[in-house]
Amino acid sequence: MSAIRQFQVTFDCAEPERVARFWCEVLGYVIPPPPDGFATWEDFNHAQPDELHGSWSACVDPSGVGPRMYFQRVPEGKAAKNRVHLDVRAGTGLVGEERLATLEAECARLIALGAVHVQTQVADEENESCITMQDIEGNEFCLD
């Protein structure tokens, strides 16, 4: 059996397009072009049955390296802590005060996009600093 080399990350959410656009801003991703035969995503949605309008959205890494992010509308709201979350690698290679300052600056940028700061964990003897946040629908993620 060959190893799988590609995967997508799927989010259950209430407003797929809104959440997809948030993650585009966080990660530098883009909304992919609409399916063949449609000039815009709006045209595509109008061709779907009413119950499917806006039922999903996606975003992709324009370099083609990162995983596709898929957002699907579900009827229930978020009820508990995520069992899986994204680590947004804003401070890779940085340590100490420089790392914390970089993470705090990225945190401020994401708050302006609608994210919520949950907790800042300052470096100790074992771990470097990281910041726990929530996206615009309450899904946890970390800046590290």
Q: What is the pLDDT of residues 12-37, one digit of tens each?
A: 999 999 999 999 999 999 999 999 99
Classified as helix, coil or strand, 3 is coil
User: For 121-143, how does the pLDDT look when each residue is reduced to its tens digit (9 = 90+)?
Assistant: 998 888 899 999 999 999 999 99
Q: Which residues pair with 58 in a beta bridge?
A: 70
Read off the pLDDT band of 52 (50, 70, 90): confident
Cα separation, 94 vs 97, in Å, equals 9
Q: Please tell me the distance from the alpha carbon of residue 112 to that of residue 129, in angstroms, as a whole number.
A: 21
What pLDDT does residue 1 have? 67
What is the 3-class SS of 36-59, one letter each residue?
Answer: CCCCCHHHHHHCCCHHHCCCEEEE
pTM value is 0.86
CB 48, CB 107: distance < 8 Å: no
| SS3 of residue 141 by DSSP | strand
